[in-house]
Amino acid sequence: MTNQPDEGWLVAVFFYRCYQNSICQVQSRQTKRMSAIMP
């Protein structure tokens, strides 16, 4: 691993933290609602 992680790694960590975050889970529920409304 290099001293500077790749952007993909940073994005993966960001999504991983966001996925565990309850606030993000609430946002996901809102997104699912939007998906349900959209055909």
Reading the chain (39 residues) residue by residue, the pLDDT tens digits are 566 667 888 888 888 887 777 666 676 677 777 667 766
Hey, what are 7's tokens?
């952007």
- Geometric angle at alpha carbon 29, from 27 and 32, rounded to 5°: 115
Report how far apart, in Å, the C-alpha atoms of 5 and of each of 1, 11, 15, 16 are. Answer: 7, 10, 15, 15
Token reading at 31: 């997104």
By CB neighbour count within 10 A (0-12 exposed, 13-18 middle, 19+ buried), where does 37 fall?
A: exposed
pLDDT value for 23: 66
